[in-house]
């Protein structure tokens, strides 16, 4: 028999335990305890950040994407994709395993069609985003970027295309001018509603950083590991930015005259405000990027003129930009994972700088030697002259025929 006294004792003990549990679970306490238990199930990666073991949640950028191919049913009347994609998980584990090949990336992305295009198989995408990546001698980085970017964009249920704009020749690199080329070349193919201007060495680390445009130009790479996951300075606009075609044309695109490293992104940031717009940003938690470590490239020396040029953006932005971008398209390849556009963007002296007067031929010599051109002869008809925005939105590229823009 249990006495009334001990019954009361049990009741008080029970209530006491209840109170302690409630106190632990209240507000801050609750968060801390829950995250403690979540941490137990996670393993840390080399950067010290936690990532989830594959299959539990988040973590692997390819997690759950295989469901997509199973759900493949293109019909005439596909519903719009939901406003928030069900594939979005948050933090992504990023590492750079040696031995990765493009063939493996291709195998892991069976729904990407030639030219690096993709549409969600089971719903009509709400957004059409082109990714523009200026490039030269960075094949190793490109491989990793493609490995992460394709599934990242598929998680967001976007209709997308990836364009690599490859600078031909060995003259100093010009990132911003290549972006102008990318804008024009992408827009002549499809009616993209947003363009992401993307460095080849930056890997997004959170799929809530959606690759869609805002009402104003967006700076997406706000928190990079190399800057301690913080904005290095308030006006920083480098790494990854997103503009609609209208934003882009309103600010006359990007400058063409920044040859070499530095300053062009600041010029672009200044253009945003000079043309009456402002910079938007995702949160620090979401706009995270890991940079693939590398030395300063050959052919991309620091530009010593950048300070002077930057001081004059107010005077130059209307006369140097998309309306004056001259280049020649050397080749256009529709590869399995991206569209590769190789261009001659010339030098500071122009597209075809006058060659120095050849010395008179020596007596008795045969034909005068012809100086090798700086870049290879175009394989296709070059798109010459100042780049103009397309007069009307180009016809949509038919899926399965990415070679017929």
**Which residues contact ligand BGN by CB under 6 A?**
232, 238, 262-263, 265-266, 306-307, 310
Find the helix or strand (DSSP H, E) in which 248 lies: helix 245-250
Handedness of CA 202, 207, 213, 216 (dihedral sign): negative
Q: How many Cβ atoms are within 10 Å of 84's Cβ, its own excluded?
A: 11
Reading the block at residue 169, the tokens are 């020749």
CB of 192: closest distance to ligand BGN in angstroms? 25
In this structure, what DSSP letter does residue 282 have?
-
Q: Which is nearer to ligand BGN, 264 or 328 (CB)?
A: 264
Reading the block at residue 267, the tokens are 């010029």
Contact present, 26 and 52 (Cβ < 8 Å): no
Q: Which is nearer to ligand BGN, 189 or 265 (CB)?
A: 265
Q: Which is nearer to ligand BGN, 348 or 380 (CB)?
A: 348
Q: How many Cβ atoms are within 10 Å of 44's Cβ, its own excluded?
A: 10
Those residues with Cβ within 8 angstroms of residue 384's Cβ, 6 or more apart along the chain or in another chain:
326, 328
Pairing of strands 288-291, 202-204: antiparallel
For residue 343, give the nearest of 317, 298, 374, 370 by alpha carbon: 374
Tell the residue number behind the tokens 């009616």, with chain if given.
191
CB of 92: closest distance to ligand BGN in angstroms? 23
Contact present, 148 and 155 (Cβ < 8 Å): no
Tell the residue number behind the tokens 């994609």, with chain if given.
85
CB of 244: closest distance to ligand BGN in angstroms? 23
Q: Which is nearer to ligand BGN, 159 or 219 (CB)?
A: 219
CB of 32: closest distance to ligand BGN in angstroms? 36
Those residues with Cβ within 8 angstroms of residue 173's Cβ, 6 or more apart along the chain or in another chain:
134, 136, 167, 259, 260, 261, 297, 299, 300
Q: How many CA atoms lie within 13 A of 254 on its CB side?
A: 28
Q: Which is nearer to ligand BGN, 186 or 224 (CB)?
A: 224
Residue nearest ligand BGN, CB atom distance: 262
CB of 262: closest distance to ligand BGN in angstroms? 3
Q: Which is nearer to ligand BGN, 169 or 263 (CB)?
A: 263
CB of 307: closest distance to ligand BGN in angstroms? 5
CB of 300: closest distance to ligand BGN in angstroms? 12
Contact present, 53 and 43 (Cβ < 8 Å): yes
Find the helix or strand (DSSP H, E) in which 240 lies: strand 240-243
CB of 178: closest distance to ligand BGN in angstroms? 15
Tell the residue number behind the tokens 């990007």, with chain if given.
254
CB of 234: closest distance to ligand BGN in angstroms? 12
């Amino acid at each position: 028999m249990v006495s009334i006294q001990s019954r009361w004792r049990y009741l008080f003990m029970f209530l006491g335990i209840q109170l302690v549990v409630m106190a632990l679970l209240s507000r801050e306490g609750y968060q801390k305890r829950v995250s403690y238990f979540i941490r137990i199930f996670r393993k840390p990666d080399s950067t010290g950040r936690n990532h989830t073991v594959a299959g539990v949640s988040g973590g692997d950028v390819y997690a759950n994407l295989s469901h997509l191919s199973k759900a493949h049913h293109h019909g005439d009347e596909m519903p719009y994709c939901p406003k928030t994609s069900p594939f979005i998980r948050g933090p992504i584990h990023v590492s750079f395993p040696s031995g990765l090949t493009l063939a493996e990336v291709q195998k892991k992305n069976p729904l990407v069609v030639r030219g690096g295009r993709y549409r969600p198989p089971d719903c009509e995408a709400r957004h059409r985003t082109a990714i523009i990546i200026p490039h030269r001698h960075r094949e190793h980085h490109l491989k990793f970027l493609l490995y992460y970017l394709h599934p990242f964009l598929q998680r967001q249920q976007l209709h997308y295309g990836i364009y690599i704009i490859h600078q031909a020749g060995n003259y100093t690199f010009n990132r911003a001018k290549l972006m102008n080329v990318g804008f024009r070349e992408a827009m002549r193919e499809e009616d993209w509603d947003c363009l992401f201007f993307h460095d080849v060495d930056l890997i997004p680390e959170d799929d809530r950083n959606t690759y869609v445009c805002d009402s104003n130009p967006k700076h997406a790479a706000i928190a990079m590991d190399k800057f301690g996951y913080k904005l290095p300075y308030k006006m920083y606009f480098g790494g990854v930015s997103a503009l609609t075609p209208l934003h882009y044309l309103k600010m006359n695109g990007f400058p063409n005259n920044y040859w070499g490293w530095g300053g062009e992104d600041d010029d672009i940031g200044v253009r945003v405000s000079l043309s009456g717009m402002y910079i938007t940003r995702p949160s620090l938690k979401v706009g995270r990027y890991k940079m693939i470590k590398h030395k300063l490239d050959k052919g991309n020396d620091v530009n010593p003129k950048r300070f002077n040029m930057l001081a004059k953006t107010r005077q130059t932005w209307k006369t140097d930009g998309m309306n004056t971008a001259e280049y020649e398209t050397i080749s256009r390849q529709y590869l399995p994972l991206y569209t590769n556009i190789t261009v001659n963007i010339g030098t500071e002296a122009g597209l075809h700088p006058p060659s120095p007067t050849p010395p008179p031929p020596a007596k008795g010599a045969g034909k005068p030697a012809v100086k090798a051109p700086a870049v290879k002869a175009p394989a296709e008809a070059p798109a010459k002259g100042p780049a103009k925005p397309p007069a009307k939105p180009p016809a949509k590229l038919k899926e399965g025929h990415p070679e017929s823009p």
